[in-house]
Amino acid sequence: MPLVLPQQCFACGAPSGSDVLCRACFTDLPGADESRCPVCAIAQPRGEICGACLRDRPSFDATLAALDYAFPVDRMVQALKYGHRLAASRLFVDLMAALPVPEADLVLPMPLHPSRLRARGFNQAAELARPLARRWGLPVRLDGIARDVDTRPQVDLPWKERAANVRGAFRVSGRVDGLRVVVVDDVMTTGATLAELARTLKAVGAASVENRIVARTPAPG
């Protein structure tokens, strides 16, 4: 296989030079300029706190998302998980690093479900957290959280069962008391997993928890 060829755009197949997306598809990335709820990052016309967060405030304090989880971002996230890691992760890191630098003390990647980690061999959230922490000038603890074997992967479950499924799923190793923590993950759907992780971090003393994610699943309907 030739080592260097002009790339084809991941989304439309047009020539894209050395980039993963052509100019047009990059400009059209879904959700890039979206106003979002500052707590859960769901699209909100004026960037105000959404009704769901007002009714029932999540245990995390803030979430910033670079994109919406829609075509071609969904396919790129899958590519990140199953192979073509470098090009997609570089683009995601650039977009996430373009958002304001978090005021925080420690970066933690969302740990992968153990069965997934065994199958895949790497954690895509850690692949994002490491270069992001470097860009932010913050320390990263790649093994700062362990995930219980007993929970089922969230994707297999209906939305309303997800919160119960992840309860007690995480163990924090190392001290986080008094620290402002940034959690890096690829996709936020219901937010149940991130909320449980934030709850766990605060239970052992984290001062605040902010999520930085590649893509937010748009509200259904």
Among 20, 25, 76, 104, binds Zn ion (CB under 5 A): 25
Cβ contact 218:190 at 8 Å: no
For residue 12, state whether it binds Zn ion (rule: CB under 5 A): yes
Please tell me the distance from the alpha carbon of residue 103 to that of residue 106, in angstroms, as a whole number.
10
- CB of residue 75 to Zn ion, shortest distance in Å: 12
Query: Greatest CA span in the chain, whole angstroms?
Result: 56
With respect to Zn ion, which residue has the nearer C-beta, 5 or 149? 5
The yes or no reply on residue 195 touching Zn ion (CB under 5 A) is no
Binder among 20, 31, 34, 50 for Zn ion (CB under 5 A): 50
- Kindly state whether residue 37 participates in binding Zn ion, applying the rule CB under 5 A: yes
Q: Report in angstroms how near the CB of residue 34 gets to Zn ion at its nearest.
A: 13
For position 40 contacting Zn ion by CB under 5 A, the verdict is yes
Q: How many residues bind Zn ion (CB under 5 A)?
A: 11
Assess contact for 50 and 40: CB atoms under 8 A: yes
- Compute the distance between CA of residue 123 and CA of residue 101 in angstroms, rounded to an integer: 23
| 11 touches Zn ion (CB under 5 A) | yes
Segment 52 to 81, residues that bind Zn ion, using CB under 5 A: 53
| 169 closest CA partner among 195, 188, 143, 207 | 195
